[in-house]
Structure 1
Amino acid sequence: MIPSRAQTPVDKLALAVVHEPERAIPAPAGAREESLRFLLQTAADSGVTRIATRPDGDGERWLGQAWPFPSPFQVSVRTLPVSDGVDRVEARARRSLERLGLPRGDALLISNACDLAGTEGRALWDRLLALKDRGLFRRIGFCATVEDGPALLARRFQPDIVQLKCNLLDQRAQHAGVLSELAALDVAVHASSIFADGLLFMNSEALPVEMHRHAPTLSRIRRRLAEARVDPMQATLAYALGLPEVSAVVASVASAAELRAVIAATHAPAPDLDWAALQLEPATASAAGPLRISSAA
């Protein structure tokens, strides 16, 4: 009998490839395609098996043209808003697979949990169930924030996956019990926005206007990490990867160089830190506070 391979932190990693000009380096089409192929091959060689996509621009098509062969990736697809109509949502999910060059996907996720809470919520979910029953997607679920009440929605719709915004600076999902509630419902939790829009990587002058009030707290957190000799990327990844209820951690990368930095930080020994002391605002049981940290991933 061949012994099974011991699980490593990279096994939890999922990549959201960033194509936006502000992150990706501008390049001619040929160079861009080669850069993407190199990024995906680097991911495959590093043991990453999950890719998270969005139906924006040409990103899906570019990925479909750049997969290594044979592709080792399990790919998740996200829906259009239900305001476009459930027929359009279903058609675009099918089209996403075509653009990605895949006969089937690992997961189909509703992009905004609010779509499930509206009048079209049940009809939308039934379309996802039908796509799963036809074998086009192995699992279905939705993306959410703490404010969306993901555990309540999970009880109602019984998803396979909830992709939830959760990171070092915003730990409400953990401390308010949302992660444990979802785990108790046997729902796989994917943590997204783990870099919190890069707030720990910015100096005070570069912060968005709405985050200026947090500048002293961010400076204090950066100072604590520096004193512990832990860089911000290592800390943000270690926090998310260390959450036992989380089965996948979605990290956004725009290049192979960024990916190599993420992989190195993922493999670094988990630091011994007081995680609760590093959040931007204290997490409360209400889990409905005003903190808003968003991200493309």
Structure 2
Amino acid sequence: MILNRAPSPIDKLAIAVVHQPERAQIPPSGAREDALRFLLQTAADAKITKVATRPDGDGERWLGQAWPFPSPFQVTVRTVPIAEGVDRIEARARRSLERLGLPRGDALLISSAADLAGAEGRALWDRLASLKDRGLFKRIGFCATVEDGPALLARRFQPDIVQIPVNMLDQRAQRTGVLNELASLGVDIHASSVFADGLLFVSGEALPPEMARHSHALSRIRRRLAEARVDPMQATLAYALGLPEVSAVVASVASAAELRATIAAAHAPAPGLDWEALQLEPATIAPGSATRISSAA
């Protein structure tokens, strides 16, 4: 089994830059580029080396225009859906590197494990393996949820990386042994959705309708954290960063200010919390709720 006991929490921390209007107001072009350069330089100065991207909108192009030089980052790229066809997936992965201004990427991840489970799953995987063999990507893997059976898929396809939602509110990946099983296969595990779609940072009135039934449980968890004098961001990061099976914790950030807050929370002393008591619904999270909790990158 490969356990990832990083000497510093920053060694595990990865960032996904958020460009959506609801998280980051898009400033005029010049100001946006300056803000993005400042965010990336802040990450570089903090010795963060991993950046996760998606093939959505202009995010890749904006990043490609804002990297520090020389860039210290290892960049992970995601595929477009299998519905667009295997040829299109390869072409778009190559295009992602062009938009990012990179000759090669660190990793290429299939965006949904369901794409591997379908009729074209093997052809899709073989295409990614070909891109790896050509040196365009150092590693390949897939994104999955607990419901996708990621360990079974890992046995079949032998990925380098599996990205899976892991957070304090939804601990099923740990509690059901999925992380341990993936680690035993020698897979690098990237934890996503570590902030649980921001559920700990909004009041009951602001919860999305499908999560309203969890308002009392969330209030209880917030109260436990307040009694322990632990900030919710510190708690959520400490849980994910403290998992020895996890090699990278992907935190979404929309600005340099958010990144600085994330870095400060990651460096805070690990709180002595009863993590099991801080799950939203231990091992019995309903499918709809799990989808919501696991939706953030």
Pairing of 1:256-267 with structure 2 (within 5 A): 256-267=256-267
Q: What is the CA–CA distance in structure 2 between the aligned matches of 1:53 and 1:288, rounded to whole Å?
A: 29
The letter for the 1-side match of 2:117 is A
Q: Which residue of 1 aligns with 2:150?
A: 150
Q: Which residue of 1 aligns with 2:46?
A: 46
Larger mean Cα displacement after TM superposition, 20-29 or 57-66? 20-29
1:194 aligns with 2:198: no
Q: Which residue of 2 aligns with 1:3?
A: none
The letter for the 2-side match of 1:237 is L
Pairing of 1:15-94 with structure 2 (within 5 A): 15-94=15-94
Q: What is the CA–CA distance in structure 2 between the aligned matches of 1:80 and 1:161, rounded to whole Å?
A: 17
Is the partner of 2:269 in helix, strand or coil?
A: coil
1:26 to partner: Cα distance: 2.7
Q: What is the CA–CA distance in structure 2 between the aligned matches of 1:184 and 1:197, rounded to whole Å?
A: 29
Q: Which residue of 2 aligns with 1:255?
A: 255
Once the two structures are superposed, what CA deviation does each residue of 1:246-278 show, in whole Å capped at 9, x if it has no partner? 000000000000000000000000000000000
Q: What is the CA–CA distance in structure 1 between the aligned matches of 2:91 and 2:69, rounded to whole Å?
A: 27
1:83 to partner: Cα distance: 0.6
Q: What is the CA–CA distance in structure 2 between the aligned matches of 1:216 and 1:283, rounded to whole Å?
A: 18
Q: What is the CA–CA distance in structure 2 between the aligned matches of 1:124 and 1:82, rounded to whole Å?
A: 8
The letter for the 2-side match of 1:25 is Q
Is the partner of 1:25 in helix, strand or coil?
A: coil
**Contact between 2:9 and 2:267, CA under 8 Å: does it hold in 1?**
yes
**Contact between 1:147 and 1:288, CA under 8 Å: does it hold in 2?**
no
1:65 to partner: Cα distance: 0.3
Is the partner of 2:96 in helix, strand or coil?
A: helix
Q: Which residue of 2 aligns with 1:7?
A: 7
Give the unaligned 5+ runs of structure 1. Answer: 1-5
The letter for the 1-side match of 2:99 is R
Pairing of 1:86-125 with structure 2 (within 5 A): 86-125=86-125
The letter for the 1-side match of 2:204 is S
* RMSD over aligned Cα atoms: 1.2
1:145 to partner: Cα distance: 0.4
**Contact between 2:180 and 2:245, CA under 8 Å: does it hold in 1?**
yes
TM-score by length of 2: 0.96
Q: Which residue of 1 aligns with 2:295?
A: 295
Moved over 6 A (4+): none
TM-score by length of 1: 0.96
1:18 to partner: Cα distance: 0.2
- The 1:122/1:51 distance shift into structure 2, 3 A limit, reads same
Q: Which residue of 1 aligns with 2:3?
A: none
Q: What is the CA–CA distance in structure 1 between the aligned matches of 2:75 and 2:256, rounded to whole Å?
A: 19
Q: Which residue of 2 aligns with 1:272?
A: 272
Determine what percentage of the aligned residue pairs are the same residue. 80
Once the two structures are superposed, what CA deviation does each residue of 1:113-164 show, in whole Å capped at 9, x if it has no partner? 0000000000000000000000000000000000000000000000000000
- The 1:187/1:288 distance shift into structure 2, 3 A limit, reads farther
**Contact between 2:146 and 2:172, CA under 8 Å: does it hold in 1?**
yes
**Contact between 1:146 and 1:288, CA under 8 Å: does it hold in 2?**
no
Q: Which residue of 1 aligns with 2:184?
A: 184
Pairing of 1:200-219 with structure 2 (within 5 A): 200-219=200-219
Give the unaligned 5+ runs of structure 2. Answer: 1-5
Q: What is the CA–CA distance in structure 1 between the aligned matches of 2:286 and 2:76, rounded to whole Å?
A: 28
Is the partner of 1:24 in helix, strand or coil?
A: coil
1:289 to partner: Cα distance: 5.3
Q: What is the CA–CA distance in structure 1 between the aligned matches of 2:106 and 2:192, rounded to whole Å?
A: 17
Q: Which residue of 2 aligns with 1:283?
A: 283
1:283 to partner: Cα distance: 1.9
Q: What is the CA–CA distance in structure 2 between the aligned matches of 1:94 and 1:26, rounded to whole Å?
A: 27
1:136 aligns with 2:133: no
